[in-house]
Amino acid sequence: MTLLDWSIVIFLNGAVIVYALRLGRNTKTSGDWFLAGKTLPFWIVGLSLYATLIDSADLIADTGGAYSLGVRLFVPNLVGVIGG
């Protein structure tokens, strides 16, 4: 990697750390941390759940299935997130 690449990586990691430290000041308990103070709307929680369901192994393993079956391969994941 070039110096520019390393600079970008260090800057972005530093920005994430500073942002997390600023938000962490308002956190008093572990429940506040893990539940975000119960302030998140349902759709953000749903997107987080969906992102958790779709990991890198799924993206690699489901390529062949998506080619042969199409989008219907992903319907169970969508129903699980939407249906709760």
Is residue 67 pLDDT above 90, yes or no? no
How confident is residue 5, by pLDDT bands cut at 50, 70 and 90? very high
What rounded mean pLDDT belongs to the chain? 83
Domain spans of the chain, in order of start:
1-32, 40-84
Is residue 15 pLDDT above 70, yes or no? yes
Residue-level pLDDT at 52: 80
d(CA 25, CA 19) in angstroms, rounded, equals: 10
Q: 10 by DSSP, 3-state: which?
A: helix
- pTM higher than 0.85 for the full model? no
- Indicate the residue type of 43: W
pLDDT digit string, tens, across residues 27-44:
888 888 777 878 889 888
Percent of the chain with pLDDT over 70: 92
Q: Which residues contact 53 (CB under 8 A, 6 or more apart)?
A: 77, 80, 81
Residue-level pLDDT at 16: 95
